[in-house]
Structure 1
């Protein structure tokens, strides 16, 4: 059984183990606090660090205490110069104990805790998902890509790591003291100088000793190979599974003249939240941005959020553009297709019928899930909040909702409504059953 030991160093002045235990203990309070902060502030503020206040009673460590009202105990306590036998000592929290009388001094009720960007987004998007993320023809297909995973002592010759092999060889030769080429060349030079014709006994004795040493060094070099099989290392590649559920999200936003600055701001806030959610939770998700007035056009992220284009209103052009892009780039047999649309509902009655025809005809059969958000005035929220009355587009989409279980819709009247509506549309739910 393999044993894995995490030897990564903790960040400076932090204990990751203690931090994770603390987050688990106060998770509910942190999540509630973050949601309140973002609901009252800007949605874009979710993409950053947050300082969260936690009630002090939530940070106390659990401990065991002796039950004073049960059992019979005798204690032997050491004496000192301050107390004598029979003296009464106040309980902790009374008199001169650790506590203090209410209102006698100031105290700090809340514990302030800094959450990183990743921790904020994890808590913020917990329990949310793209519904029905599956493709039947991809369930049994699993693709892999090789990933570097260190070195091994066996493998294909094409995967030999020359650098690691020579490093091992060098270390082994140093440890076994394999003679160097320079040592042999020095002995050969000295022998050449002594073989110049001198025949005195000392010279002959020196020559014999040098030849014996040369022979010994050459034998040792032959025994200790320059590269031994034990030195060879191969680059190791482990197969890493690739996610097979590819998804694309179509973001359709109405930027016509009927959408004032307030309506556009609320719609953009909703799509910023959706963008953060997709980037945090899903690695392989394409996002297609479509803006429409009386005509629709695919745009980049910068244009989608910051362009000031305006004009008339023909909502069906956005659905037609989405349908065209799906046909060209995102075949439904390979991609999970999602869509989110935001509009104020202002549309021609004839075009709303056209939208109903497009949704019923093909779009809802292609989409795993379609969410529609209608931006209304705060004064209208009381009128439309409890009834299905609304614009011609709302009534057309209400018909779609009745026919297709993978369609949902909601209304937004103010910034505080965005996060509850987002959770309503993208909360985890059982797989949708389609006809």
Structure 2
């Protein structure tokens, strides 16, 4: 018999390892339940976890038992209902099962409910965004003063006790003891040799005063050797730390939304959900990400998150005003050499016909050469208009960095989002 014992430490959460193994084992069932939950609930309700159920048959464990055949002696307990030779009635109910423990409930016995457990918020978001990433995230140049890492930078005689280098301090103490004791040991060896030589002399020629003097000298030298401290403050060495600039994976996401009169409240609600899902995605995967919110109708302006989602405006639609504003913000605040730039735009596709050509030129000549990715979602059940057709020419110019999809209803948000931000096998 072989026994396997897991002795790996797991101090705070004793069941954390087993929980991760369970989530990995039933990833298919859990992911299906998470996708159903995303389609069922509001995107604004994504902050909480989810209760997941797994069919009982899918969590059954293999059981080892004796196979048929062979001779076995079995002792069964007695009963008051049967005697030797009686035939046992077949259990009523559907066949093919393995007892009351399997299947649903009935009036003939007890059933087994599906195994249910609750995913935490972090685990829920992990399954929601599984396989997604911001495409073409690149490592930009060093960004001083903000992106630094404290690294060891040699040793010093001054420092705090928490940074003491025990190995180096002991090495320094050992070297000091050798250096301080060496001349004393040499003098001690000479005194011992002189005493032995004096004692080997003939008693007539031996000098008692010299012997007493040598013994006193030997005792003095031994005390000096014993007086050398094992470690001294002079021996202590401390690790020094210095701030070292690190390559930064910074990203900024521009959220552009049409708030003109053609955008109904339903369109705006769907756009809000898309950006909220995008915000959760960014928050989940990247620590150094900034969000810039740009609203537009005939004119565009940068607004706060609160105003972006909840303020109401009406008017016509000139999309180029928003693209021009995004370009100006990039030039002013986000140098291309330091930031990964992403734009997500939501619109119903309505735009002045003469302006759609301007939008195409702005994207091809100015914005796209600077951006890592541009995602455009058109929220409409109707046929595409001039803006969509002009954007199709941009897709031909930048097939890897420009993507566009159509959303008809709220249930399309999550599938479209996964398609826009699915993990690419290779990135430029």
Which residue matches 1:419?
Answer: 414
- Look up the SS of the partner of 2:376 in the other structure: strand
Pick closer, same or farther for the CA change 1:98–1:327 going to 2, 3 Å: same
Pick closer, same or farther for the CA change 1:304–1:108 going to 2, 3 Å: farther
Which residue matches 1:109?
Answer: 113
Which residue matches 1:75?
Answer: 72
- Look up the SS of the partner of 2:354 in the other structure: helix
Is the 2:163–2:239 contact (alpha carbons within 8 Å) kept by the matching residues of 1?
Answer: no
Write the distance in 1 (CA, Å) between the matches of 2:89 and 2:347.
Answer: 69
Which residue matches 1:215?
Answer: none
Write the distance in 2 (CA, Å) between the matches of 1:230 and 1:57.
Answer: 71
Write the distance in 1 (CA, Å) between the matches of 2:44 and 2:408.
Answer: 19
Write the distance in 2 (CA, Å) between the matches of 1:101 and 1:43.
Answer: 35
Pick closer, same or farther for the CA change 1:6–1:327 going to 2, 3 Å: farther
Q: Which runs of 5+ in 2 are unaligned?
A: 1-6, 166-222
Is the 1:131–1:431 contact (alpha carbons within 8 Å) kept by the matching residues of 2?
Answer: no
Shift of 1:60: 2.3
The reply on whether 1:8 has 2:11 as its aligned counterpart is yes
CA displacement, residues 25-57 of structure 1 (integer Å, 9 cap, x when unaligned)? 111111111111111220122221211222222
Is the 1:376–1:413 contact (alpha carbons within 8 Å) kept by the matching residues of 2?
Answer: yes
Write the distance in 1 (CA, Å) between the matches of 2:420 and 2:27.
Answer: 23
Is the 1:144–1:241 contact (alpha carbons within 8 Å) kept by the matching residues of 2?
Answer: yes
Write the distance in 2 (CA, Å) between the matches of 1:426 and 1:96.
Answer: 46
Which residue matches 2:43?
Answer: 43
Shift of 1:293: 1.4
Pick closer, same or farther for the CA change 1:230–1:37 going to 2, 3 Å: farther
Write the distance in 2 (CA, Å) between the matches of 1:421 and 1:233.
Answer: 59
TM-score by length of 2: 0.71
CA displacement, residues 119-154 of structure 1 (integer Å, 9 cap, x when unaligned)? 00001001000111124767xxxx751279xxxxx9
Structure whose alpha-carbon radius of gyration is higher: 2
Write the distance in 1 (CA, Å) between the matches of 2:102 and 2:262.
Answer: 62
Which residue matches 1:285?
Answer: 289
Shift of 1:246: 1.6
- Look up the SS of the partner of 1:366 in the other structure: coil
Pick closer, same or farther for the CA change 1:232–1:326 going to 2, 3 Å: same
CA displacement, residues 295-333 of structure 1 (integer Å, 9 cap, x when unaligned)? 111122122122223332111011001100111111212
Which residue matches 1:403?
Answer: 397
The reply on whether 1:313 has 2:307 as its aligned counterpart is no
Pick closer, same or farther for the CA change 1:101–1:297 going to 2, 3 Å: closer
Write the distance in 2 (CA, Å) between the matches of 1:419 and 1:302.
Answer: 23
Structure 1 segment 72-221 matched on structure 2, within 5 A: 72-78=69-75, 99=101, 103=106, 104-105=108-109, 107-135=111-139, 144-146=148-150, 155-161=155-161
Pick closer, same or farther for the CA change 1:99–1:130 going to 2, 3 Å: closer
The reply on whether 1:268 has 2:265 as its aligned counterpart is no
Pick closer, same or farther for the CA change 1:8–1:363 going to 2, 3 Å: same
Shift of 1:421: 0.3
Is the 2:380–2:407 contact (alpha carbons within 8 Å) kept by the matching residues of 1?
Answer: yes
Which residue matches 1:344?
Answer: 348
Write the distance in 1 (CA, Å) between the matches of 2:227 and 2:112.
Answer: 76
Is the 1:268–1:305 contact (alpha carbons within 8 Å) kept by the matching residues of 2?
Answer: yes
Write the distance in 1 (CA, Å) between the matches of 2:33 and 2:244.
Answer: 38
Write the distance in 1 (CA, Å) between the matches of 2:245 and 2:61.
Answer: 41
Structure 1 residue runs of 4 or more that deviate by more than 6 Å after TM superposition: 83-96, 162-165, 222-225, 230-233, 238-241
Pick closer, same or farther for the CA change 1:74–1:251 going to 2, 3 Å: same
Shift of 1:79: 6.2
Pick closer, same or farther for the CA change 1:269–1:86 going to 2, 3 Å: same
Q: Which runs of 5+ in 1 are unaligned?
A: 149-153, 166-218, 385-389
RMSD after superposition? 3.9
Pick closer, same or farther for the CA change 1:7–1:37 going to 2, 3 Å: closer
Q: How many residues end up aligned between the 2 structures?
A: 350
